[in-house]
Chain A
Amino acid sequence: MRTLLEFEKPIAELEAKLEDMKKLAQDNNVDVSSAVRNLSKSIEQLRNETFDNLTRWQRVQLSRHPDRPYTLDYIELMCDEFHELHGDRGVRDDPAIIGGLANIGGLSVMVIGQQKGRKTKQRQHRNFGMANPEGYRKALRLMKMAEKFDIPVVTLIDTPGAFPGLEAEERGQGEAIARNIKEMMVLKVPVICVVIGEGASGGALGLGIGDRVLMLENSWYSVISPENCSTILWRSWDFKEQAAEALKLTAIDMKSFGLVDGIIPEPKGGAHLNFEEMAATLKKTILQEIKILSKMKADQRVDARIDKFCQMGVVNS
């Protein structure tokens, strides 16, 4: 059963009507082809209208759609081979971040990403995609391995934030993220980061330093979630729509500010409507970018990466 967001419902209702009509026609052997054509056309029209005019909050909702593809879905659809590698060699294996060696279209790649769960039990197991320090340290271990074997790194970002727990603090959540940011800056291999769903703050940035940082069309990336922003600035959760507008957190916003390098289009209606198409687009983009980046010398790439991030910010002086 599909989960429907509020603004998906009118479209789904028309789709259901269309199905009914087709079934009725088949059962009674009547020709309704012109009515079917008309209805299909209005569905198409409504979909275009809805999805060409999404508010920022609606995109946030799409980024969290329970049916949206997660890191493991992309790995399964993009990779010819994937060998998951576990553990940070210090504390434990963090299921909220997965990583491993992959073969994508004949190319060896280290793929790392936050993983959310789909059912209640899985969600808990994955801690809703909120990593602990050992998750970031596992990611760094795998990136260093990729560097050793001269294999490009691809990170898939999808997190409501790094986990704000007691043990996370004891084990140095801040230090783990900070170290990843700095080490990713100087990683000698090509690094491509893609925000596939939620890109919340430091928890996202801990996997987010790359030669190319890309966002899926309906993902978001910002310093705080709209809900938390609303709670702090308006002192109530009720202003999340306004907070989303104020934060300007969509792919289009972030690209226009020059804070990310590109937007990857999603199938009409969102990535959840067509996993295969979305994964194919992502795969194609990743392979293209790796090809371009591989032509640069390692030191050049690192310099360009550092310089890119150093230029971010707007001040008056």
Chain B
Amino acid sequence: MSWFQRTGKGIQTPTELKREAPDGLWHLCPECKQVMHTREHKQNAYTCIHCNYHDKIGSEAYFQVLFDDGAYKELDADMFSADPLEFVDTKAYPSRIKQTQEKTGLKDACRTAEGKINGINITISCMDFSFIGGSMGSVVGEKIARGMDNSLKKKIPFLMISKSGGARMMEAGYSLMQMAKTSAKIARLDQAKIPYISLLTDPTTGGVTASFAMLGDFNIAEPGSLIGFAGPRVIKETIGKELPKGFQTAEFILEHGFLDFIVDRKDLKDKLSSLLKILKK
């Protein structure tokens, strides 16, 4: 016979509810390992308040950071990938697409939207790295091309936010020609004197670097982003040596003359609108 007897029920809180703080209240910076309030992190445009590390974010977060009141109209939201080559590697391409769609809630690796930044109308296409490495197939190419068409039609600036490993292998020749297609549309923007700003974020490599990402009237980047044509691993294998520190960072690319400037994400919106206002005169 025990001294005390429980009169009510025993403790029945399931393990997953046993938490000291609600999920997502605190954000741990993957770079400096310091903690900040999630709200603070978000207000700081998803960059670390301690070390300025720029978190990798997707299209929705970029739209929220850039568009006034987070309001925008998405274009071609329902476009999704076909399988023109009936491509099968270890998995059939359509099932890979379907799985990724379910996992990410995205249709493909790029979203396009129209809205205002500090009152200026603009079209923005933004890549999502979480969708097969932000790889460019027909959908990405077509969405960017149509986004540029939207800018041409409405005579408003175009902003491209790149974040991609390059062209998508599963659409082979079609993917390659998206480099041509997007560049062709940029030639149209040139003809119509529409400003085209290319923001390169972490990472931007391969066929994306070798086409629209490097063709902005302004090529700009977020600090610390990996930017290059060939990936670091491939280069290392080619030259058989370790790569120098800071190789292929945004700072390195700026130093070598391929960027106009590097901009902190929290300053991006104001910087863009100032720049576009000067162009308007």
Contacts and interface: CB of A to CB of B under 8 A. Distances in A.
A43 interface: no
A202 B206 CA distance: 8
Given A164-B238, A178-B215, A172 B175 contact: no
A172 B256 contact: yes
A168 B80 CA distance: 35
A182 interface: yes
Given A174-B210, A202-B179, A313-B141, A169 B82 contact: no
A279 interface: no
Dominant SS at the B interface? helix
Contacts of B127: none
A163 B235 CA distance: 9
A247 interface: yes
Contact of B230 (A173, A249, A310): A173
Contacts of B56: none
Contacts of A172: 214, 256-258
Nearest to A206: B210
A264 interface: no
Contacts of A165: 230, 235, 238-239
Nearest to A166: B239
Given A174-B209, A181-B183, A202-B207, A312 B88 contact: no
Given A223-B207, A315-B142, A310 B174 contact: no
B29 interface: no
Contacts of A317: 76, 78-80
B70 interface: no
A223 B169 contact: yes
B183 A178 contact: yes
A179 B85 contact: no
Contact of A314 (B89, B167, B174, B258): B174
A174 B187 contact: no
Given A166-B247, A169-B229, A257-B84, A247 B172 contact: yes
A250 to B, nearest CB: 10
A175 interface: yes
Contact of A202 (B89, B229, B234): B229
A248 B85 contact: yes
A246 interface: yes
A201 interface: yes
Contact of B139 (A209, A234, A310, A315): A315
B90 interface: yes
Interface in B119-178: 138-139, 141-142, 145, 167-169, 171-178
Given A171-B256, A314-B84, A205 B176 contact: yes
A248 B181 CA distance: 20
Contact of B212 (A178, A229, A316): A178
Interface string A120-147: 0000000000000000000000000000
A289 to B, nearest CB: 19
A178 B162 CA distance: 14
A179 B215 contact: yes
Contact of A174 (B76, B85, B229, B239): B229
Contacts of A259: 173-174, 176-177
B101 interface: no
Given A162-B229, A169-B235, A170-B256, A312 B214 contact: no
A273 interface: no
Contacts of B171: 223
B81 interface: yes
Given A166-B243, A205-B179, A174 B174 contact: no
Nearest to A169: B228
A314 B98 CA distance: 17
Given A233-B90, A315-B139, A223 B172 contact: yes
Contacts of A101: none
B85 A310 contact: no
Interface string A233-277: 110000000110011110001100101000000000000000000
B88 A246 contact: yes
Contact of B187 (A175, A182, A224): A182
Which of B169, B209, B229 has the largest number of chain A CB atoms within 10 A?
B229
Given A185-B183, A229-B169, A313-B138, A168 B229 contact: yes
Nearest to B83: A314
Given A164-B230, A168-B229, A313-B181, A246 B85 contact: yes
B180 A186 contact: no
A306 B188 contact: yes
Interface string B50-73: 000000000000000000000000
A222 interface: yes
21 contacts: A162-B229, A163-B238, A166-B243, A169-B235, A172-B258, A179-B215, A185-B183, A202-B211, A205-B179, A221-B176, A224-B169, A229-B169, A233-B90, A254-B173, A259-B176, A306-B188, A309-B183, A310-B145, A314-B138, A315-B81, A316-B82
Interface of A: 162-166, 168-175, 177-179, 181-182, 185-186, 201-202, 205-206, 208-209, 221-224, 229, 232-234, 242-243, 246-249, 253-254, 257, 259, 305-306, 309-310, 312-317
